[in-house]
Chain A
């Protein structure tokens, strides 16, 4: 009997990656929502035990054994639950390419992501330009393909789609339009949202915006 538990938080794009992957693979799992991810004292015992190094979600617990870090979890899921259509390409070169873009994207969102909603003025503007540049590079990588994975919705699509639920927030706070800057990217976003795994997982962008405003108030960020 397989026991699969996912520790998460509803606004985390990294958690969404794992949820989408589990749904795509048809794997049954129990989801446990953390009460709060900002302060260690509010985190569950299970999270602190399962991820003592980073104390962060997502954590996948498979038959009692924890796996941390979203990309590592995705690789694990793909290796344990093998199907005809895998998340990772069988070709090592395309696997490397997907890993590269995820790594690039994750580094960018770490450096400029927070500035988009927490900073103002020139800092925020610079972050906005960097973010748009990043999306344009990804748009270029997508090219004419329906998905980053080619004909099939795969690893890179799963890794990138979650951040899109924050677009409304970024657009409102930074005054720009992703649709205007990157129309092809938005076409891909709409295509992905037609998949049940995505539409069931991504939260309402307006709820995300309200949450960000609450966080700003809580930590007194103007």
Chain B
């Protein structure tokens, strides 16, 4: 089929969520295929031989990997669309890319240490995560979304991690809602968008999944 779009995905993956949100924002029809990461499909291994990871978007038979690269591809390939994910001004675009990249560098690996470890390692990670949230709240300031009035790349990059908040709070004993009220208001505002609520699983489901994953990780050590 000429415009066939397939997404190789895994339901709890924040990176998969980003792509789901972008596709939904653009109103793009696609076939979502759930991968079993302990038994990766031949298609996944063929389409992403270098990293063997989801998400992979396959458009007209051609694969694109890495969530933010996929989101930008979606924005560029469906560009005559009413929902641009990036602003048109080059400086604002650079700014959006900068913050999406910051989120990519800081939130996943630090967050993982927060819910995945204990003791001193966890405490250090918690402080680092707090600092990142502080920085992001400052960047958000009084805006509706990170891009201003427009829901865009930076919001897409960050909102999947909202599904981790309950887990982070419970495992590391702190309240993101109390410490970062503006960030949480922003998150709830995003969750009111269909594209987001249909793409980001419930926090309690994610909690069960992450706790299970944590047990498996520790039993391997």
Contact = CB atoms under 8 A, between A and B. Distances in A.
Contact of B98 (A62, A72, A93): A72
Contacts of B69: 96, 99-100, 103
Interface string A38-54: 00000000000000010
A67 B135 CA distance: 17
A32 interface: no
A137 B50 contact: yes
Given A99-B69, A103-B69, A137-B50, A93 B91 contact: no
A72 B94 contact: yes
Interface in B27-74: 50-51, 59, 62, 64-66, 69-70, 72-73
Contacts of B135: 53
Given A53-B135, A99-B66, A103-B69, A68 B77 contact: no
Contacts of A53: 102, 135
A68 B91 CA distance: 11
Contacts of A79: 90, 93
Interface residues of A, number: 22
A26 interface: no
Nearest to B51: A104
A121 interface: no
Interface residues of B, number: 22
Contacts of A194: none
Contacts of A103: 66, 69
B91 A67 contact: yes
Given A72-B97, A75-B94, A79-B93, 7 more contacts: A67-B91, A72-B98, A92-B73, A96-B69, A97-B64, A103-B66, A137-B50
B156 to A, nearest CB: 16
Contact of B93 (A62, A75, A92, A104): A75
A191 interface: no
Contacts, number: 55
B76 interface: yes
Interface in A1-59: 53
A96 B90 contact: no
20 contacts: A53-B102, A62-B91, A65-B91, A68-B98, A79-B90, A80-B90, A92-B77, A93-B59, A93-B73, A93-B77, A95-B72, A95-B73, A96-B69, A96-B72, A99-B66, A100-B64, A100-B65, A103-B66, A103-B69, A104-B50
Given A53-B135, A65-B91, A75 B77 contact: no
A125 interface: no
Interface string B5-22: 000000000000000000
Contact of A93 (B62, B66, B90, B101): B62
Nearest to B70: A96
